Structure 1
Amino acid sequence: MNTPAVHRQRRFVLLAGVAVVALVVDFVTKQFMLNWLAPGESVEIVGELLRFTLVFNSGAAFSIGSGVPWLFFLIASGVVVYILVAARKLRSTGWAVALGLILGGACGNLIDRVFRAPAPLHGEVVDWLQVPNWPVFNVADSCIVVGGILAVIMAFKGVNMDGSLEGESGTGGEGERA
């Protein structure tokens, strides 16, 4: 039976699966780097193109807002809640992947902020990937960026979360578009 409820359930399972994979990969890579590198230590992987450098970030990208880590906890929490609420009407595969990546990445950094030093809700995010002329980042950050890019592509294509195209009602039972 291909009812709208079945499509929503399948897309929610896809979103959750992508989020869990992103979260697990982020967690495992952070733990590996914490066990392998000392804070501030850097190892060349592909010449100057890619380095593994262990740093801790209490702010956002480029260390913006380092003095208010609780604000990023609140923002990440809001993103997680929004995605979980929006997932109720999800029927688009593209949106499921995009939101799953964002959800997994947000949860990865949120876990750092809650459980890592220096204090609960003030924890520093573990960053370890370094490319030239860019701040050090992690898998969670990459998932958020890739998910955001996919969301922008879906929006430019006019695909709504319910699978309809912009201007359509979205209530038809013909399945999802993207």
Structure 2
Amino acid sequence: MAAWAADQATKVWAVARLDGHDPITLIPGALSLRFLRNPGAAFGLGTSMTLLLSLVAIVVVIVVVRLAPRLRDRTWTLAIALLLAGTLGNLTDRLLREPEPLHGHVVDFLDYGGLFVGNVADIYLTVAAVLILWRSWQGVALDGTPAPAGDDDE
């Protein structure tokens, strides 16, 4: 809940301080604060699919909540918590921001050297993806036990 709140607080700040203003350079060529409202997904993809992105986010939240009771491994717990916080952070924008519910535009303000503009929820989602891939590659199940081996009989 604290991670979601941090994401939302930074977005409220971005709307109040960055909307309608010139970008603020933090690290020349690498990081600046630049306000934009994103109707799509990462890298400006799917701008016409806001409703679908909202519905996918709702499904992700439901799946994560259903997985939560099985978590016994700290790394998996952190990964799933970050996945939930990031998904809920951007879903909150899609539900509550203009132009209308389920079609709202996500507030982005972290400009990574002109490559893409994101937000704190996107950082959570990226770290979650790395942790999920890492733990899966290690063969660790949600409960911390070795994951069942795949079928090698080909």
**Is the shorter-chain TM-score for this pair beyond 0.5, marking a shared fold?**
yes
1:150 is aligned to 2:119 = no
TM-score calculated relative to the size of structure 1: 0.80
1:135 is aligned to 2:116 = yes
> Structure 1 residues 40 and 141, CA, compared in 2 at 3 Å: closer, same or farther?
farther
Give the aligned partner of residue 141 of structure 2: 160
Where does 1:19-58 land on structure 2 (aligned, <5 Å)? 20-39=1-20, 41-58=22-39
Aligned residues: 149
> Structure 1 residues 28 and 63, CA, compared in 2 at 3 Å: closer, same or farther?
same
Question: Tell me, what secondary structure is at the counterpart of 2:118?
Answer: coil
TM-score calculated relative to the size of structure 2: 0.92
Question: Rg larger in 1 or in 2?
Answer: 1
String of CA shifts for 1:73-117, please: whole Å, max 9, x gaps. Answer: 011111100000111211111100000001000000000000000
Whole-Å Cα distance in 1 between the matches of residues 61 and 20 of structure 2? 29
Identify which of 50, 67, 80 aligns with 1:99.
80
CA RMSD after TM alignment: 1.3
Name stretches of at least 5 consecutive residues in structure 2 with no aligned partner. Answer: 150-154
Name stretches of at least 5 consecutive residues in structure 1 with no aligned partner. Answer: 1-19, 169-178
Question: Tell me, what secondary structure is at the counterpart of 1:102?
Answer: helix
Identify which of 70, 73, 85 aligns with 1:89.
70
Displacement of 1:38 in angstroms is 2.0
Question: Tell me, what secondary structure is at the counterpart of 2:98?
Answer: coil
Identify which of 51, 65, 81 aligns with 2:46.
65
Residue type at the aligned position of 2:33:
F
Give the aligned partner of residue 77 of structure 1: 58
Is this contact kept in 2: 1:45–1:51, CA < 8 A? yes
